[in-house]
Structure 1
């Protein structure tokens, strides 16, 4: 087993944190993308004229939202949004908000989140010992697998990409699309940051003699790359990724990312996906407060808080009645790229496999459970799948206050032979 970093470092690096990118000097943190805004017109025929009146050109459509991404002079975003909003032909104009990442098999014994017998484990270098904690802190995934293993259900990972050269997850990817500002030149560009590969492994890592096990081992992955090599993206990129995933047949969309400010365009993309029958799951955030994060806070998204191996709220996890459910998110062992990647360079994570902590890790556990439920009699509609996932959660401490439902239970969700 490779070198493993401490949980305190992982919680900062893998989580959503403050959801901003530091600005130079004493400037305020950047919270939106400079040089572009999002505009939706009531009358598409008037778009060209309205934009020309403001010295602007028409821009590309954003998925199924009806909105367009418009290039504007840097520093003029607020002024142009105000001017366009006053025009009766404009339904709305808004900033393009900044989005950041929320972080039988060989290492299965290290995956307390899937099956926890109260054991502890230590990596071969002796740098980390993790106490198994409370036996019931896991999600009973092993007990769910005799009932279903996912059977080809497509789960979209809207994230920083999924590595193309990893024996445990790459072959599960059935389609890829890049909506980030990273140009794919070299193989490592598919996930130079490392976050998406870790998230994808939690959902669907292959059950074989190597590595780790995914919650939904027979699921397939749709790789929607929306975050660049620094783990940063935009609300328009997420909206495009959601639309693409829906068109590619996703039954579940996982978004281990977030932004502080709501976006009408992103909310429209979420609502359109829900109308098309997709279950959407997102990280609740790692601020340790009750502040809402989007897309997790939208009503058609399952927002996921993080618990630890003693079945209590992770210290960093966002919480509150707006959060729907909880799942293990501390020291979650999963895949990382086999090539050097940014999170590894910054925090000493190993290539191949390592731990990550954050609601970014909790969300894909819930997404994997939702994918399993699609392959049961309850899998008739996204509403019934969501209801089953939430109603069968374990009623742990904090349920009803820190999150609306309990900690997810895969076995109960698929109506398996549960302990």
Structure 2
């Protein structure tokens, strides 16, 4: 992050220069960056000038994205503007691309009936006589969802498409549909059933068909989830570098009472995990396999809060089909579903309460010698711990 010192307010010419440079850049000439302001008055001035331009310039809304949740903007900033000293009082950082967290796609499966192994493994079916996640709202910031999938029809809210505001958040990748199925699929007779079959998934399409999104898209997605009263946000994606803007958005959501569940990454690392899972305001999830051991691809170590099934997970896919995928993404959707079960049973638990319950109720993993090491998700133990 580039931080220009000084407390002085920006003059109008500096604001206009920044706006003008963003509007005249070709895609290759400058990197997309997030600009934030030390002084609220500077943010308001920039917002005012941008609003005036937005009405008169055709591509202004595409070239400059307003990020009200963190009082900033995403725009292309050329290097010569970065090097100039006319921008005292501004924080500028890159607006990099993130990727969804799935390590592999296996061959499509013709059909799936009943309860997938991961849903069984975490003991979700034993909880359904007590809680099914009814009325819990789960925002899934991902590639969208297949609205026509028979196993998801009862489980979806409208959500939002941040890449094309006029359209429903239709999935053109498959990853988001897979995540939604594990959380809340509800078609036990003819299809599959997810962890919390009466929870409602609100797809927030921030990722394109390649499974990529800018940090600014994620910030807008978190903003939407907070404003639309999501209880839980599933973030099955990550990046290696920290982002002050993403941390600010995550912190604001946490302070608003939203539980954020994030995947740790698929690099098999022992001492580090991806952001945003690495931020303490999230619940960081690693992946296990059918042997109840940490999956070889999963990041692991002290930063992980809980492990859940993530290896060869079968769930819903595009065009009403099913697919088997592996990744910490898949583990994360199990945890989001489990928290939906807990919240329906015990409404009003705060994000810090939930994290404490999850950590207090884990089942020790196989193949780990230390008794206190992070364990695997267990829904029945979670519900009991939530009652204490």
Question: TM-score by structure 2 length?
Answer: 0.79
- Cross-structure match for 1:325: 306
More helix by share: 2
Question: How far apart are 1:146 and its partner, in Å?
Answer: 1.4
What do residues 52-99 of structure 1 show as CA deviations (whole Å, max 9, x unaligned)?
9xxx999432141112112334xx3xx544547x84321x21000211
1:372–1:399 CA distance, 2 compared to 1 (3 A): farther
Question: How far apart are 1:403 and its partner, in Å?
Answer: 9.7
- Cross-structure match for 1:11: none
Write the distance in 2 (CA, Å) between the matches of 1:274 and 1:398: 34
- Cross-structure match for 1:161: 144
Q: How does 1:402-413 map to 2 (within 5 A)?
A: 405-413=374-382
Write the distance in 1 (CA, Å) between the matches of 2:328 and 2:371: 14
Answer yes or no: is 1:274 the counterpart of 2:270.
no
Q: How does 1:207-286 map to 2 (within 5 A)?
A: 207-286=187-266
The question of whether the paired residues in 1 share the 8 Å contact of 2:113 and 2:189 is answered with no
Write the distance in 2 (CA, Å) between the matches of 1:292 and 1:251: 24
The question of whether the paired residues in 1 share the 8 Å contact of 2:97 and 2:213 is answered with yes
Write the distance in 2 (CA, Å) between the matches of 1:150 and 1:261: 34
Q: Which moved more, 1:285-294 or 1:272-281?
A: 285-294
Please list every run of 5 or more consecutive structure 2 residues that lacks an aligned counterpart in the other structure: 1-28, 54-59, 103-110
Write the distance in 2 (CA, Å) between the matches of 1:378 and 1:176: 22
From 33, 47, 72, the counterpart of 1:37: 33
Q: CA RMSD in A?
A: 3.0
1:80–1:322 CA distance, 2 compared to 1 (3 A): farther
The question of whether the paired residues in 1 share the 8 Å contact of 2:365 and 2:375 is answered with yes
Write the distance in 1 (CA, Å) between the matches of 2:46 and 2:115: 60
The question of whether the paired residues in 1 share the 8 Å contact of 2:140 and 2:176 is answered with yes
The question of whether the paired residues in 1 share the 8 Å contact of 2:114 and 2:188 is answered with no
Question: How far apart are 1:401 and its partner, in Å?
Answer: 7.5
The question of whether the paired residues in 1 share the 8 Å contact of 2:31 and 2:94 is answered with no
Higher-RCO chain (CA-CA 8 Å, sequence separation at least 6): 1
Answer yes or no: is 1:392 the counterpart of 2:361.
yes
Question: How far apart are 1:297 and its partner, in Å?
Answer: 0.6
> Number of residues paired by the alignment?
337
1:80–1:163 CA distance, 2 compared to 1 (3 A): farther
1:175 alignment partner, SS class: coil
Please list every run of 5 or more consecutive structure 1 residues that lacks an aligned counterpart in the other structure: 1-32, 116-137, 339-350
Q: Which moved more, 1:327-336 or 1:283-292?
A: 283-292
Question: How far apart are 1:208 and its partner, in Å?
Answer: 3.4
